Amino acid sequence: MKPVRWISTPREIDVFGTSHDGGYSHDAVVYALKDCGYRHIDTAKRYGCERYIAQAVKASGVPRQEVFLATKCWPTDYGATTTREAFSGSCQRLAVDYLDMYLLHWPEVSSGVKDKKKLLQETWRTLEVLLDEERVKAIGVSNFLERHLEIILEECSVTPHVNQCEFHPFNNPKMLRQFCADRNIQFEGYSPLAKGLALRDPGVVAIAEAHGRSPAQVLVRWSVQSNVPSIPKSTKLECVRANSQVYDFILTQEEMMTLNSMTQTLTCVDRNSMQMKIDNPLPDGYKLKLVKPPPEP
């Protein structure tokens, strides 16, 4: 497996997440890069904010080679030719000639596809070619369960470097994480705060009070100590900074056990609705709200 420079430890590089849920703030991305030391920006074609991220990276003044840009291929773009076109489109919108990481966004494909397994494997081979051509430095998947990963592993020349999934104390897929670890696939977690729903949990609040920290910092710290790179997202500058200030305190073994034993009852992303969204596509970024748009050129 080809090495990926950011994966060695979860604290090596802070990740700033973007999506079409909750809005996009130009100032938050610039602040994260320029003032808080974030260097990994996670996005997706589907979110509709790639071109705004390009403007934010430029405005931050941080050199391109210091920024780890990751984006994703939407299932309606799966296929040898269409995946390459989608990749090139993302590069164009991000104003780059290479990507640091490119992921398959979901394992589901259009219902009209006769051989879904073949399409996934063909699409993965396209990512392998892009990797071989040095147009991307790391390739991976998102929201893949064990059975989906098996399809890729059955035919792949390059094992997925990353599997990015929902991850917080109330949705902690331990068996999937172990499956990935056994195959040298880095498990990466999005929605570490469960879209804010985990912040009010009494157990989380009690741990936060014991450390003089915010519940959000406790949740991000839990991800760090679980060896899972975390992708927090916020449009508020104070939260952007706070989410990166989690390396000067340690959760006790008892606190980790408390968080690890939370009831698994909270899912932010409805996997069952994804097929309908793929079969009845709306425009990329259809939900995007510009909380703070970039300034007019």
Q: Name the residue type at position 231.
A: I
The CB density around residue 273, as the number of other CB atoms within 10 Å, is: 9
- Residue pair 188/202 in contact (Cβ under 8 Å)? The answer is no
Does residue 52 have an active-site annotation? no
Residue 143 region by backbone torsions, left for phi larger than 0, else alpha for psi between -120 and 50, else beta: left
To the question of whether residue 26 is assigned a binding role by annotation, the answer is: no
- Helices 80-94 & 116-132 angle (0-180, nearest 10): 50
Backbone phi and psi for residue 71, each to the nearest 5 degrees, phi listed first: -140, 180
Backbone phi and psi for residue 290, each to the nearest 5 degrees, phi listed first: -85, 95
Residue matched to tokens 């994260």: 32
The span from the CA of 250 to the CA of 128, in Å, is: 39
Query: What is the 8-class DSSP label of residue 238?
Result: H
Cα(first)–Cα(last) distance of the chain, in Å?
43
- Helices 215-225 & 253-260 angle (0-180, nearest 10): 100
Residue matched to tokens 């390059």: 158
Catalytic residue among 47, 78, 102, 190: 47
Q: Tell me which H or E stretch contains 122.
A: helix 116-132
The CB density around residue 75, as the number of other CB atoms within 10 Å, is: 25
Binding residues for substrate: 105
Binding residues: 105
| Active site members | 47
